[in-house]
Amino acid sequence: MRPSMGSVGDAYDNAMAESFFASLECEFIARRSWKTKTEARTAVFTWIDAWYNPRRRHSALNHMSPVNFERKHEQDKQTLTQSPPTQTQ
C-alpha cells in the first residue's frame, strides 16, 4: 500500500488517510510479520474488513462505530413502526 500525499502546507486534505494509515501501522503492522506479500495483503484486508471498518468511531456518525450506528438506526426504526399512529384533525 502507498498512502496518497497532499500538497505542502495543506494540513487537512489528507487527514482521514493519515489517520487510517497511522492506525494500520501502529495497531496492526508494527506488531506482526509475514512470509509473503499475499499473506500480508490477506491479513491487512481482514484487519480492515473485520476490525477497522466495523469498530472505528466516526465523527459523521456522532462518534459511533458503524456497527453501533446501524444497530441504533434499526432500533429507532422499530420504535417508530411499533408506536401507535397519531390522529390528525
**Is 89 inside any structural domain?**
no
pLDDT at 17: 76
Q: Which residues of the chain are under the pLDDT cut of 70? A: 1-13, 83-89
Domain for residue 62, yes or no?
A: yes
pLDDT of residue 53: 81
> What's the domain range around 25?
19-79
The pLDDT of residue 9 is 61
Could you report the per-residue pLDDT of 54-69, keeping only the tens digit for each? 888 877 788 888 888 8
7 lies in some domain: no
Does residue 8 lie within any of the structural domains?
no
- For residue 63, the 8-state DSSP code is S
Is 1 within the bounds of a domain?
no
DSSP string, the chain: -------TT-SSTTHHHHHHHHHHHHHTGGG---SSHHHHHHHHHHHIIIIIHHH--BGGGTSB-HHHHHHHHHHHHHHHHHSPPPP--
Counted domains in the chain:
1
